[in-house]
Amino acid sequence: MVNTKVMLSGIALDNPIIPASGTFGFGTEFSELYDINILGSLSFKGTTVEERFGNPTPRIADCTGGMLNSVGLQNPGLKKVCAHELPNLAKTFRKPVIANISGFSIEEYVECAKAMDAQENVGIIEVNVSCPNVHGGGMSFGVNPEAAAEVTKAVKAVTKKPVYIKLSPNVTDIVTIALACEEAGADGLSLINTLLGMRIDIRSRKPVLANKMGGFSGPAIFPVALRMVWQAYEAVKIPIIGMGGVSSAEDVIEMMLAGATAVQVGAANLKNPFACKEIIEDMPRVMDKYKIENLSDIIGGAH
């Protein structure tokens, strides 16, 4: 009998599979399709202080091996998430969740972190300093080690819950930023967010996305994500949640061998709403195939 359990900052997960923020909403729609309690955890829709409609349309574009999105952090806002979405989620999902937060200033990150710290069903706070689709915030914090460290320190000062910083791949050196976050007190890292990309409509000779550029996700980015998880694992001592193009149980194993303790599944959920369920169900078969008894034993096993 294989053991799929892992420990993430003191939280026991039945398995390392976590739907990535922005690809699973607040779990409601998916709970109508299957029992989402089979998941290790879930990272819910990225939350900002104020309600956001998001970017103008069109904001989705097809790509070879993936997709572009420029949704722009559409969400109902902090108060509604805490008063409505999280209590509603607690009715269907009985495990600690990951609260993905974003902001356009240090103060906004702090306000979101304080509110999430008070939510009973939030186990980890995932701080998004890496969204490529918003102006004046998001990724601008994640591409600079000093700014990423400043956000980390500010959030850590107002919460007792583990803080994971979600890093951007759109940087020259992921290790410098990972180390800056660790030194500033981060309990863990989430990487990677989407790569910056674009498409042009040949007929109109204009960018497909209204925002011109957007986040590229899907199977094509998996090797980039794997490389960055590997590099971060070599440099830091805190746990890593790996993500980026994960779409199979084999991908999960590979990501864990690179150094991830848990693995988020993103774009695959948008293509197939049963993606996480199928990966979890296939995990025992793949573990048997590669003679893995305990998943926790393989974390960083390729180093």
Catalytic site positions: 131
Q: What is the pLDDT of residue 141?
A: 81
- The whole-model pTM stands at 0.96
What structural domains does the chain harbor? 6-46+73-193+217-298 (3.20.20.70)
Helix axes 145-156, 174-183, angle to 10 degrees: 30
| DSSP-derived pairing of the beta strands 60-63 and 66-69 | antiparallel
Q: Is the pLDDT of residue 16 over 60?
A: yes
Q: What span, in angstroms and rounded, lies between the C-alpha atoms of 300 and 232? A: 11
Cα–Cα distance between 66 and 236 in angstroms, integer? 30
Q: What is the pLDDT of residues 195-234, one digit of tens each?
A: 999 999 999 999 999 999 999 999 999 999 999 999 999 9
Digit-coded pLDDT (tens) for 53-106 = 999 999 999 999 999 999 999 999 999 999 999 999 999 999 999 999 999 999
Residue 138 has a pLDDT of 53
Task: For 127-174, write each residue's pLDDT tens digit.
Answer: 999 765 555 555 678 888 999 999 999 999 999 999 999 999 999 999
